[in-house]
Amino acid sequence: MEAYYNYIKALHLIFVVTWFAGLFYIPRLFIYHIEALEKPSPDREILANQLRLMTRRLWKIITWPSAILCTFFAAWLLLLMPGWLSQPWMHVKLTFVLLLFIYHLRTHQIYRQLQKDEARYTSNYMRIWNEGATLVLFAVTFLVILKNAVNWIYGLAGLILLAILLMLGIRLYKRIRDKNPEA
């Protein structure tokens, strides 16, 4: 089976990329859907119908299957390389993967609400929500490349700094958008 290791790793990475693509794009569709629900008829109905369709296709055809296949190939890699489970960086990585699944499942709840045109959050909240997957991606990528959980304090400080920069970017975008709605 070790002869297939690189093929399995490649498939795992492909599905990591497609899973994250779905997790990055779906909150953007949520933002558009929430804003469409604030429009007058008939724009509201036309846009909401189209966004429900786009969101359903993204979520069911790309994001969920990618999450499942990513996990399948990751488990297969761990079966081939069981020693990884004894390494501290892998424990931290798996913690972030668990957080990613929690994020995914919470996003699924929001997806189900918006499929019924129930907007329980503002579009600004969804802009902030959109950055959750970004933070996990940064953390996991650095852990996998550096394979070092010892300097977790520096990593945590970096994640906090990244989160602050993302929030400042969201605020700046909101100001620009409030001044120019076409932006």
Q: Which two tokens stand for residue 89?
A: 């960086």
Q: What share of the chain is helix, strand, coil (3-state, %, to 5)?
A: 85, 0, 15
| 12 in a known ligand binding site | yes
Contacts of residue 173, defined as CB under 8 A and 6 or more positions apart, other chains included, come to 127, 183
Count other C-beta atoms under 10 Å from residue 179's C-beta: 8
CA-wise closest residue to 105 among 15, 16, 26, 13: 26
Annotated binding-site positions? 12, 93
Annotated binding-site positions for heme? 12, 93
